[in-house]
Amino acid sequence: MDIDCDGIQKGGDGRCGSSTDTQSQTAFQGQIPGNVIKDLNANIHPYVVFGNYGDYSPTFDPKAHGIKPLSVMAVVCGDKLIYGVWGDTNGDDAEYPLVGEASLSLATACYGHSVNGNNGHDGTDVLYVAFTGDEAVPGKSANWKADNYDDFEASIQTLGDKLIKRLS
């Protein structure tokens, strides 16, 4: 699990400061329902970098498979189930294109404070599950203005649980 620190750059405990490729916006800046915030904050919002584009193959466009921006995603990490949203995409990473980075807040929920902007999780115990359709997008029911991870994740948990049940 690589760590992403893109988006709003305020708050946090400084662990994003070690990142060498932080961008001040995510792919969905300005698309938060109701425009209650300008963009996601990696220190607060558990989001997944899902999808990539560029000249190197392979590329993956989640929208081509019915996955909507800012939709709920389930992340199984170690022995935990965490809910986040599809919050960013990845550009060209030369010959090693990636999908599946996680915001610092999501990675911290999974693996604790040892992760930072330049130090992720190397294990193979991570599974990202995306859900298709409009019903996977929390919209205004999510607490986009939350000032901490726990409050935001709690606001999407009921929807996440409902979507997980759809898999059985």
Q: Stretch 140-158: mean pLDDT, rounded?
A: 98
Alpha-carbon distance of 112 to 64, in angstroms, equals 34
Is the pLDDT at 113 greater than 80? The verdict is yes
- Pairing verdict, β 47-52 and 101-103: antiparallel
* Window from 23-32, 69-78, 153-162 with minimum mean pLDDT: 23-32
Mean per-residue pLDDT over the chain, rounded: 92
- 37 or 90: whose pLDDT is higher? 37
DSSP H helical ranges for the chain: 104-111, 149-165
pLDDT at 97: 66
In the chain, which ranges are E strands? 3-4, 47-52, 72-77, 80-90, 101-103, 126-130
Maximum average pLDDT range among 6-15, 31-40, 117-126: 31-40
pLDDT category of residue 100 using cuts at 50, 70 and 90: confident
Which positions ≥6 away from 104 have C-beta within 8 Å? Answer: 3, 4, 5, 12, 15, 16, 42, 43, 115, 116, 117
DSSP 23: -
Alpha-carbon distance of 159 to 135, in angstroms, equals 9
Is the pTM above the cut of 0.85? yes
pLDDT at 36: 93
- 112 or 12: whose pLDDT is higher? 112
Pair of tokens at residue 137? 């997008």
